[in-house]
Structure 1
Amino acid sequence: MNQVSEKENFLRGVKAAMPIAVGYIPIAITFGLLAKSLGIPIYVSFLMSLLIYAGASQFIGINLIVLGASWWEIVVTTFILNLRHFLMTATLSQKLEKQASRKWRMLLSFGITDETFSVSSFQSQEPLARYFSLGLNTIAFVSWNIGTWLGLFCASGLPDTVKSSMGIALYVMFIGLLIPQVKKSKSALVVSLLAIIINSLSNWLGISNGWGIIIATVFSAAIGAQLFAREESN
């Protein structure tokens, strides 16, 4: 009986992950195409999707590699970008069923993304079944890696002009993510403008691109938190 329940929960997770997979594959294909067009070795791109598994961080990572940033600048930038995962994993750990051991929690934490977290958070069933999370995370992870391989494979047959044009994909992706948030939130607009100004000032001062991104991220977020915290308190 328990085995049937675990199977059903896993299949529920697989079904819930299908919309995520549909969204992940095109973005992952873009990542593979962009990485190939920028001259990133195929094995590096593959390992980034397999081991790092963080879309925004992967796009920024290959951009920083091309710009000649040092490894520790890339690590620090990635760490700052993914600080939110501490909050997401801590939140979901409180919802997981008690049968989820420490090893289970470690396994499931690797598969948490913004999208899988959102789906898990809105599940009405309490507690959150570990096999549901496993099915959800597995399909999302597999779809991202399949998309990466498709991008890397398709890139070899594309004309050089098309490959070189993929360099704008990074900026298009972030603009596409940013505009809806800016429309809905004044704070997102202010923080975005602050980040642009601070990063531009860093470049003008001769600070490296990697550190420029780190400084812009930290200071714009800190200033934004202070400004809008005061607004809310008033």
Structure 2
Amino acid sequence: MIPRMGAGVVRNGRELVKGMSAAVPIAIGYVPIAVAFGVIARQSGLPFAETVLMSMMVFAGASQFMAVQMATAGALGMEIIFATLVLNFRHFIMSLSLMDRLKDVPLLAKGALAFGVTDETFAVAAMDEKGGNGRIHPLYMAGLIAVAYGSWVFGTVVGGLFAGVIPRSISDSMNIALYAMFIALLVPAVRKRWRVGAIALIGMALNALFGLFLSGGWATVLATVAAAGCGTMLMPREEPPAAEKTAG
């Protein structure tokens, strides 16, 4: 019994360390963007505590940048909530995909792990295969998320603390971090499928059009939903493998 328990502890420790190691590249990318968020949020008038709490409770970079910018532009709270929901709706799909590979994990633990799913952690976790059965070790996922989450909160704290000593001209230039993040996510997809770029252009055009007669917040929400609807028509449906067709 003891040797078996010892082997299990060793294996769990290895999975945790493996997940933490896999998150190092994510952390390297998260820290500077989180610092930029902390600086921009503080210089936009958001208190330090609320800035840090946003990173701790939301943990979604693009949405946090967008929320601060919308709040600065005078958007209503409901507009920010809807815009965040639409922008992060993909997280529901990613979480469901990963939770299907954590079938034996208790529900509360699944909820905690789902909170830490981002574009980057999902991409890394999706590549972790276990013995060909597609399962993910929960401690691997926990280590991955812990380092990613910790780096994001740490960067926000640093940015919030030093926001007062960073010149406004430099902090204004940090706004490019948001666009750089979107471009980094968009370009690889566009290289594989030109339709993705077309959908992005449609969203931009609709946002400009809706902005003529709606507030910036609702224009963003409606443009995102409308562009997503166009995407369902433009993107080709993936055909099931031949083996599945035959079996059906």
TM-score (norm 2): 0.86
Deviation at 1:176, TM superposition (A): 4.5
Query: Does the 8 Å contact 1:21/1:139 carry over to 2?
Result: yes
Query: Larger deviation: 33-42 or 146-155?
Result: 33-42
| 1:103 and 2:108 aligned | yes
1:4 maps to a residue whose letter is: V
Query: Does the 8 Å contact 2:36/2:175 carry over to 1?
Result: no
1:116 maps to a residue whose letter is: T
1:94 maps to a residue whose letter is: D
Inter-partner Cα distance in structure 2 for 1:60 and 1:31? 10
1:131 maps to a residue whose letter is: L
Within a 5 Å distance, the mapping from 1:143-158 to structure 2 comes to: 143-158=151-166
User: Paired residue for 1:222?
Assistant: 229
Deviation at 1:174, TM superposition (A): 3.1
1:146 maps to a residue whose letter is: F
- SS, match of residue 207 in structure 1: coil
Higher helix fraction: Structure 1 or Structure 2? 1
Inter-partner Cα distance in structure 2 for 1:167 and 1:37? 12
Inter-partner Cα distance in structure 2 for 1:39 and 1:81? 24
Superimposed CA distance per residue, residues 76-130 of structure 1 (whole angstroms, 9 cap, x where no aligned partner): 11111111111111111121252x1111111111111111111111112252111
Deviation at 1:155, TM superposition (A): 1.7
5+ unaligned residues in a row in structure 1: which ranges? none
2:219 maps to a residue whose letter is: G
| 1:84 and 2:90 aligned | yes
| 1:120 and 2:125 aligned | yes
Query: Does the 8 Å contact 2:70/2:80 carry over to 1?
Result: yes
Deviation at 1:186, TM superposition (A): 1.2
Deviation at 1:197, TM superposition (A): 1.2
Query: Does the 8 Å contact 1:37/1:166 carry over to 2?
Result: no
Inter-partner Cα distance in structure 2 for 1:113 and 1:173? 13
Query: Does the 8 Å contact 1:37/1:164 carry over to 2?
Result: no
Deviation at 1:227, TM superposition (A): 2.5
Q: What is the percentage of aligned positions where both structures have the same residue?
A: 38
Deviation at 1:171, TM superposition (A): 3.6
User: Paired residue for 2:204?
Assistant: 196
1:40 maps to a residue whose letter is: L
Superimposed CA distance per residue, residues 111-162 of structure 1 (whole angstroms, 9 cap, x where no aligned partner): 1111111111111225211111111110000000111111112222122332
User: Paired residue for 2:17?
Assistant: 11
Aligned residues: 230
Of the candidates 182, 186, 194, which is equivalent to residue 190 of structure 2? 182
User: Paired residue for 1:27?
Assistant: 33
5+ unaligned residues in a row in structure 2: which ranges? 1-5, 240-248
Larger radius of gyration: 2
Inter-partner Cα distance in structure 2 for 1:163 and 1:40? 14
TM-score (norm 1): 0.90
Query: Does the 8 Å contact 2:36/2:171 carry over to 1?
Result: no
| 1:74 and 2:105 aligned | no
